[in-house]
Amino acid sequence: MNKQYLENLALKINVKSGGRNTVLNDAFEKRIPLVTDMPTIIFGVDVTHPQPGEDLSPSIAAVVASMDWPWVTRYRGIVSAQVHREEIIQDLFKVIEDPQKGKRPAGMIRELLVAFFKSTV
């Protein structure tokens, strides 16, 4: 095994065990301008579509969110297949029927918000 392979392996193990491989020095020194002093989550959303002529393939929607305020170096994402060529993400917000709790909010955004709040507490 060469040195580069072992370094890459160590980076992967570090991330999977909850560590950070990179952090901006400006974040540590509090020089990055903040919109607020409150913990903030940053979302990214995109929908990608199949090639023209592929009429049966679904479109793919993805949402990512930052999980470690204020460094913003860890992200979590959710991917969902949806109706062909649909630009509006169907699973972004939704309500599910829970037999014990009745109707409750669900969807991609809620799942990421729950993960964010668990990571900031």
Strand pairing of 59-66 and 43-48?
antiparallel
pTM (global) more than 0.85: no
- Residue 85 falls in which region: left (phi positive, over 0), alpha (psi -120 to 50) or beta: left
Which pLDDT belongs to residue 58?
A: 95
For the chain, 121 residues long, the average pLDDT of each consecutive 10-residue run is 92 86 68 68 90 92 85 83 90 81 80 76 55
